[in-house]
Structure 1
Amino acid sequence: MRVVARTAGRGGRTRYHRALPSIEDRRMRLPSLLFVAGLAAVVPTVHAEEPAAAPAPAAAPAAAPAAPKSAVSLEDIRTFTAVFSLVKQGYVEDVSDQRLMQAAIRGLLADLDPHSEYLDGPQIQELTEDTTGSYAGLGIEVVPMDGVLRVIAPIDDTPAERAGIKAGDTIVRIDGKPLPPDDLGGAIERLRGKPGSEITLSILHEGHTVPIDVTLKREVIRVASVKGRMLEPGYAYLRISQFQAETGNDLRKRLDRLQAENKAPLKGAILDLRSNPGGLVSAAVDVSDAFLDAGVVVTTRGRIKEAELSFSATPGDQLGGAPLVVLVDNGSASAAEIVAGALKDNHRALLMGRRTFGKGSVQTILPLDAEHAIKLTTARYYTPSGVSIQAQGIAPDIALSDLALTRRDAPPTPMLRERDLRNHLQGADEGTEPLAVEQDDQVQADYALNEALNVLKGLALQRRPAVSPETKS
């Protein structure tokens, strides 16, 4: 069974932003039982109390049955209808019943957790577009937090990423106007717009005290979820920016091309999941399966039977057991955390970087009609070791600080070597210099990637078969 679930990656829409961290929106066709059970969990039965009949003269009065714990009290119903009536009568402007009821529904879901919400037609369409990797906007994932919008991650090669917006940044104003703390959903809507239109965001970078204004131009975002290249002979680099429907297949094709380009089995690979906001659960399972021969990938648990799921790897490691290093940071969320947890707990990869975002819940899309649905948190997911990373994240095996590499202002002082000594004995190959391995420019500029490559080489050396004494010289 192919399960398509959204593990949204930070906040709102993936397109321009995402108001919900790593939305684990499960877009599978659920049986009607799940739909009913899901609604029953949030719409308790109303039990009206009827006047008791007078007891028969000879009979003892019957005890009134206790109201179920899930019943809504008449007092709560009276309070709701009283507020509804007062708003209708006294609000400064006329408000339609439909608008008030939809606001009540949105408030009911919003008060549960940051990821449950009421969806209308355009929002449902946006979720569909997220899985294809093509949409209009800024290319930034955000989540409402403490009256502002916190950036979970910018998407690679988008206006947000090119403007220097990073995971952990905060949006405090949009077009010079402060964000309304009670309507951050509306603020997210203001981020959207037609391709080519401009918007100015006041960005407070992590660790700074003064925000800066950044003007961005909206565009059609087409996200290639998988990129890859050779860093050095034998060592591949794979970058997944988000998890889409075809990410697993694209990863396998990319690995095959890199293997062919290397003309030999790879010695190792780096999988870069930094600032990956998440995506489809099915894609996360496919990617994990590409590097595993067996073992559990992820399990989900909830209150209803249909939320109890387990995904396992199938035989076939695309790297043939070659060492794998996974780069993560505080912008790696949801589906990215599923992959990181699966590879770590199955002892298949070494994690390097910073603690991940910590989005460990699953959201299910429950249709109401052709134009409306609710996105409801129905389960938590667990790594193969049975650990929930909700609000905790995944700690890397090797922690790295958020540093940057810079070139020396002056070349280093040459070191004295044997061949520099006068009257030294002539070497067999003296006069010829060994070929230097040219390092990728990105590796030179990227501290974490540089450290990951060094560790990967060490793991590859440990994997080499021991040399027998007879072959030693």
Structure 2
Amino acid sequence: MQQRPIFRTTTQSLALCLALAAGGAHAQSSAPTDPSTSTAARAQLPLDDLRTFAEVLDRIKSAYVEPVDDKTLLENAIRGMLSNLDPHSAYLDPQAFQELQESTSGEFGGLGIEVGMEDGFIRVVSPIDDTPASRAGIEAGDLIVRIDGQPTKGMSMQEAVDMMRGKPGSKVELTIVREGGQPFDVTLTRAVIKVQSVRTEMLEDGYGYLRITQFQVNTGAEVGKALASLRKDNKAPLKGLVMDLRNNPGGVLQAAVEVADHFMTKGLIVYTQGRIANSELRFSADPADASQGVPLVVLINGGSASAAEIVAGALQDSRRAVVMGTDSFGKGSVQTVLPLNNDRALKLTTALYYTPNGRSIQAQGIVPDIEVQRARLTREDEMAGVKEADLAGHLGNGNGGADRPSNGKAVRTPRPQDEDYQLGQALNLLKGLNITRGQ
């Protein structure tokens, strides 16, 4: 494998999480090569158009109201070329390239928001767990219409990112529109974001919870350790596991492949197709099974994108897991980072990826096997009543079981599934599967 392409949801990622794609995971190719794009073919340049470009450059330099240097004009022209290809290709100046490389290490400065563009506005793709954005209640799908009072309509992604970026401890006010409602303001305090990509806990005896917030370089190894830790905590084979990929904006392709491989013992995980030879990649599972075949439910929603969709699609197509929740984001393209000179780079869409069954997720997303909408739970107090065990002189249980009077219920410690309807339904499904299998 010559390259390790990067999957990401947006041209810029705010967390300040600029496109998650770097470290050892981005392609270190000076330029893609393909026999079909020979030197002779490249020599057929549109000379008339190039003359027009040179003429426009000259006219701007000589007639624009203020002086503009050549470097600025040429960099703006490059940005224009990239920005009009697709939402995910971009020209990265030294600062953006450095931030992109740092983002996969899991520590960077900002708010903790993955953002994209929609109808000229900044839309939240997903908030990142345990960051200023998530703690302030920012939700996937929110439109950011103002930043510190300045309208975002017509702003470039870079301009919006620059406004939200700042010194840790400083504040920024975002004006949010949610689901067509009235605008409201949220004040966030910028912070150094340290993203823990994997966390686990036991929901109940025998049933584990695995949360993946984004796919960083080491996420595959972390999931392997997490599975071992869950088995140790349970002190017995797990009866079921919920993998939570909700609001996971994606990340590094190789990490997604490694995570899926922990649960699969054979078959294709994902493949990519593009115009250049080294964009044709195929990844298959090896026979090792770190999950030991545990029954699995995968939770997704509209903030699950890119690498998260690869994992969900692979486990769904291989019938290794039941996918539950709502339709995913629908980003099925591969971005390869191509370093240039002077510490700059291109982030270029070079291929589309496909699930094992040949599905392209691009602009469609993963459709869950069982749709479960997000909902708020309100629990009613059980009415006080009298049970047989409360009656004086009642008979004991013939099998020797202890009496269960109406006041005999212990106070239950709050659990994650008690407030999370989708998670509760995933747990109920796992329990049902185990009942029917006689476990």
TM-score w.r.t. length of structure 1? 0.85
The structure 1 residue matched to 2:419, chosen from 441, 445, 449, is 445
Determine whether 1:412 maps to 2:382. yes
The structure 1 residue matched to 2:267, chosen from 295, 309, 316, is 295
Contact 1:10 1:333 in 2 (8 A): no
CA offset at residue 454 of structure 1?
A: 0.3
Farther off after superposition, 100-109 or 420-429: 420-429
CA offset at residue 426 of structure 1?
A: 3.4
CA offset at residue 421 of structure 1?
A: 7.2
Which residue is 1:165 aligned to?
A: 138
Counterpart code for 1:276: N
CA offset at residue 195 of structure 1?
A: 1.1
Determine whether 1:321 maps to 2:318. no
Contact 1:6 1:280 in 2 (8 A): yes
Which residue is 2:403 aligned to?
A: 432
Contact 2:262 2:289 in 1 (8 A): yes
Contact 1:155 1:275 in 2 (8 A): yes
Which residue is 1:58 aligned to?
A: none
CA offset at residue 15 of structure 1?
A: 2.9
**CA offsets per residue over residues 37-73 of structure 1, 9 Å max, x none?**
59969xx8464xxxxxxxxxxxxxxxxxxxxxxx425
Q: Take 1:436 and 1:290, find their aligned partners in 2: how far apart are those partners?
A: 38
CA offset at residue 407 of structure 1?
A: 2.6
Which residue is 1:250 aligned to?
A: 222
Q: Take 1:257 and 1:128, find their aligned partners in 2: how far apart are those partners?
A: 30
Farther off after superposition, 157-166 or 125-134: 125-134
Q: How does 1:113-192 map to 2 (within 5 A)?
A: 113-181=86-154, 183-192=156-165
Which residue is 1:234 aligned to?
A: 206
Counterpart code for 1:200: E
Q: Which has the larger radius of gyration?
A: 1
Counterpart code for 1:8: R
Contact 1:9 1:23 in 2 (8 A): no
Counterpart code for 1:451: Q
Contact 1:10 1:153 in 2 (8 A): no
Identity fraction in percent? 49
Structure 2 unaligned segments of length 5 or more: list them. none
Determine whether 1:35 maps to 2:32. yes
Q: How does 1:58-457 map to 2 (within 5 A)?
A: 71-72=45-46, 74=48, 76-181=49-154, 183-205=156-178, 207-408=179-380, 411-414=381-384, 419=389, 425-428=395-398, 429=400, 431-433=402-404, 438=412, 440-457=414-431
- Equivalent position SS for 1:299: strand
Q: Take 1:308 and 1:338, find their aligned partners in 2: how far apart are those partners?
A: 16
Q: Take 1:319 and 1:268, find their aligned partners in 2: how far apart are those partners?
A: 10
Q: Take 1:395 and 1:101, find their aligned partners in 2: how far apart are those partners?
A: 43
CA offset at residue 13 of structure 1?
A: 2.3
CA offset at residue 189 of structure 1?
A: 1.5
Contact 1:273 1:327 in 2 (8 A): yes
Structure 1 unaligned segments of length 5 or more: list them. 48-70, 466-473
- Equivalent position SS for 1:94: coil
Counterpart code for 1:427: N
CA offset at residue 186 of structure 1?
A: 1.2
CA offset at residue 17 of structure 1?
A: 4.6
Farther off after superposition, 326-335 or 433-442: 433-442
Contact 1:299 1:381 in 2 (8 A): yes
- Equivalent position SS for 1:322: coil
**CA offsets per residue over residues 290-331 of structure 1, 9 Å max, x none?**
111111110000011100000011112223212100000000
CA offset at residue 182 of structure 1?
A: 5.0
CA offset at residue 166 of structure 1?
A: 0.5
Q: Take 1:165 and 1:148, find their aligned partners in 2: how far apart are those partners?
A: 16
Counterpart code for 1:35: P
Contact 1:200 1:213 in 2 (8 A): yes
Counterpart code for 2:403: T
Which residue is 2:9 aligned to?
A: 9
Which residue is 1:458 aligned to?
A: 432
Contact 1:9 1:276 in 2 (8 A): no
CA offset at residue 280 of structure 1?
A: 0.5
Which residue is 1:64 aligned to?
A: none
TM-score w.r.t. length of structure 2? 0.92
C-alpha RMSD of matched pairs (Å): 2.5
- Equivalent position SS for 1:132: coil
The number of aligned residues is 432
